[in-house]
Chains A and B, each alone.
Chain A
């Protein structure tokens, strides 16, 4: 499943669904809104582009590392401390490919996919998280 969505998701359910007979290793990455003295954040995307980018990145991970199963779900909209932001689930034959593919996917997301976060402090101020790419 490749999705940019305001809806919450169940990481356990997606990990369970990654099981297939040729998958011997499942690696997941879950990004969570950290309590940095913030109340929460708003996540914004160029939705018409972001989901296609995630699809491309998933296909790259399959081609480069032999990932067999890839899920990427990225939330948009208002999120509170403790909410899930992004989930990547990679299934591969062996652990090394699964680890490498998972790290590759999160690095590529940060590099390319048009998504931004605005953090809201408890004092009412807010700031855009500075992108590096």
Chain B
């Protein structure tokens, strides 16, 4: 059974955290608990991901199952086993 969250990271975040991580978090999981677990495993990257109060830094973009979650309260969006959660810095294509 698929009981982990698939975490994707890109660009500078991929270098800090690695891509394609499988993270186990206690249910009910949220974007916040996934980010907290990433930060716990990788304190060096934590400062890029979280602000001083444990919220995601404003510039960090989050997707759950390839859809952006934005706005106040985005940390509280629920995630479920098997979901894909992506964290990445501002985009710079084109």
Q: How many residues of A contact B (CB 8 A)?
A: 29
* Contact (Cβ within 8 A) B93 A128: no
A45-73 contacts to B (CB < 8 Å): 45-46, 48-50, 52
Q: How far is it, in angstroms, between the C-alpha of A131 and the C-alpha of B59 when the chains are bound? A: 10
> What is the CB-to-nearest-CB distance from B16 to chain A, in angstroms, rounded to a whole number?
11
- Determine if B94 and A130 form an interchain contact, defined as CB atoms under 8 angstroms apart: no
B11–A128 CB distance below 8 A? yes
Question: How many chain B residues touch the partner (CB < 8 A)?
Answer: 16
A116-B94 in contact (CB<8A)? no
Taking CB atoms and an 8 Å cut-off, the chain B residues in 12-26 that contact chain A are 12, 14
Partner of A44 from the list B11, B61, B86 (CB cut-off 8 Å) is B11
Q: Which residues of B contact A (CB under 8 A)?
A: 8, 10-12, 14, 61, 63, 66, 86, 88-94
Interface residues of A (CB under 8 A from B): 31, 43-46, 48-50, 52, 74, 85-86, 106, 109-118, 128-133
Given pairs A43-B93, A45-B93, A110-B92, 4 additional interface contacts (CB within 8 A): A44-B14, A74-B94, A115-B91, A116-B89
